Amino acid sequence: MENPQIWSVSDVNHAVREIVEGALLPFWMAGEVGSLTLHRSGHAYFTMKDAKSQIRAVYFGGAAACTRLGIANGSMIEAFGNLSVYEVRGEYQFGIRQLRPAGVGDLRMRFEELKRRLAAEGLFDQERKRPIPKLPGRIGVVTSPSGAAIRDFLQIINRRFPNVNVRIYPCAVQGAGAAEQVARGVEFFNRTDGADVIVVTRGGGSMEDLWPFNEEILARAVASSRIPVVSAVGHEIDFSICDFAADLRVPTPSAAAELVIGRREEMVRELDRSEKDMRYALESALSQARARLDRAAGSFVFREPAHLVRMRRQQLDELDTRLGTAAERFHGQFRARLERLESTLLALDPRRQLERGYAILFDPAQEKPVTSAANVAAGTRLVARLADGSLNVTVDRPGSVPPPPFAAV
């Protein structure tokens, strides 16, 4: 018996590569992006997957294209290329030559058509934009309560002004019906006069993910809001119809928080700067007056009546004292105003009420708080929000039990 041929691993992988690469012509393939890596070499590595399978993919020199197109994990794409084998690891992969977001052509056309139509109506005109309040007492946020956007927003708020009153209207920010829910959130704050400024926000994503913020119903709700609206949808490179209709567009949820709340430290520094500027101006004026007086006192006219010079100098000293007192009073008034504002924000914090034993009842089906027992039927399931969590409750006999007297606080 002849000795059988013994193949090396490299020989096997090379043979498989020739078979695989010669079996199929280049083709288009659709799938969802996962495990995306944009290498510093300029290449892009990721997987393409569907509900049942996945395949490794490589786009040589495609990192810049992926960034430009906003390709991220979870993006649906269509890629043109061919199968190949990476002999080093014995793995087959899809080598990409061209790439595009799935369905982006139709969505982009719809986006541009709606943008042109609403712009022609004047919905995006700068004259319609309302100023954003510098320090709002109540901030209404329309977003998903479980998303990263609200966590980023609240983190900035709690770090800079922990006692500000933030009211969240929970809604879906992606998928069917999301645009209607966000529009209802904007209308809710307008209807209830529940905010001084409204922030509409969500994190970034593909064009399909952000599409609810390109719907006409939301654009009209934002444009017709009598309360200023800040749009913080997506990331730096993302733009939506909601951005154009809003009074102000910011790139991220964190940027929205920084804009609407400002910095307490900056306000204190501004007061300090004003005080220093005022003192400098007063001291400069006083110095000039003293110099003029000294020059006049040295003249021939004032050599004899020296008592007049002494009297003027005494008057200047008294003026100096009064100006210093006025400066201190001015500074104290500004600090007292700042402390009153801070006290007001603390008093308006809804968590203080919950910590005293009160609760807020929410009707999940109606997506709003319960304000009247007459509107709640027996057997209705409600959520009671307390200071340290929430409880699920079921209504027994609405209105049959008189409310307990309110305890003095």
379 CB neighbour count, 10 Å cutoff:
9
With a cut of 70, say whether residue 160 has pLDDT above it.
yes
- Predicted confidence at residue 209, as pLDDT, reads 83
Residue found under tokens 């290449």: 43
Co-location of 257 and 127 in the same domain: yes
Q: Record the pTM.
A: 0.46
Co-location of 145 and 160 in the same domain: yes
Task: Note whether residue 150 is domain-resident.
Answer: yes
Co-location of 56 and 134 in the same domain: no
Task: Note whether residue 3 is domain-resident.
Answer: no
Residue found under tokens 């309040």: 133
The pLDDT tens digits of the residues spanning 219-277 come to 999 999 999 999 999 766 668 999 999 999 998 888 888 887 765 567 777 888 888 88
> How far apart, in whole angstroms, are the C-alpha atoms of residue 31 and residue 33?
7
Residue 45, phi then psi, degrees to nearest 5: -125, 135
Co-location of 256 and 271 in the same domain: no
Co-location of 111 and 256 in the same domain: yes
Task: Note whether residue 1 is domain-resident.
Answer: no
Co-location of 235 and 211 in the same domain: yes
The structure tokens listed for 244 are: 């154009």
Co-location of 67 and 129 in the same domain: no
Closest by alpha carbon to 395, among 380, 408, 373?
380
Amino acid at 314: Q
Co-location of 336 and 396 in the same domain: no
CATH of the domain at 219: 3.40.50.261
Q: With H, G, I as helix, E, B as strand and everything else as coil, classify residue 89.
A: coil
Hey, which residues does 38 pair with through a beta bridge? 44
Co-location of 276 and 137 in the same domain: no
Co-location of 211 and 328 in the same domain: no
Structural domain harbouring 289: 264-343
Co-location of 325 and 409 in the same domain: no
Domain count, the chain: 4
Task: Note whether residue 350 is domain-resident.
Answer: no
The structure tokens listed for 304 are: 């004899």
In the chain, helix, strand, coil percent, each to 5?
Answer: 45, 20, 35
The last residue of a domain, from among 303, 323, 343: 343
CATH of the domain at 62: 2.40.50.140
Say if residues 38 and 63 touch (Cβ distance below 8 Å): yes
The pLDDT tens digits of the residues spanning 332-369 come to 888 888 888 877 777 777 777 777 788 888 888 877 88
Co-location of 377 and 405 in the same domain: yes
Task: Note whether residue 397 is domain-resident.
Answer: yes
Q: Following DSSP, what letter does each residue of 284-339 receive, concatenated? A: HHHHHHHHHHHHHHTSGGGTS-HHHHHHHHHHHHHHHHHHHHHHHHHHHHHHHHHH
The pLDDT tens digits of the residues spanning 167-220 come to 999 999 998 899 999 999 999 999 998 899 999 999 887 777 889 999 999 999
Task: Note whether residue 2 is domain-resident.
Answer: no
End-to-end Cα distance, the chain: 101
Say if residues 42 and 63 touch (Cβ distance below 8 Å): yes
The pLDDT tens digits of the residues spanning 37-96 come to 999 999 999 999 988 889 999 999 999 989 888 888 888 889 999 988 888 888 888 999
Q: How confident is the model at residue 138 (pLDDT cuts 50, 70, 90)?
A: very high
The last residue of a domain, from among 68, 86, 102: 102
Task: Note whether residue 349 is domain-resident.
Answer: no
Task: Note whether residue 324 is domain-resident.
Answer: yes
Residue found under tokens 């977003």: 143
The last residue of a domain, from among 261, 279, 295: 261
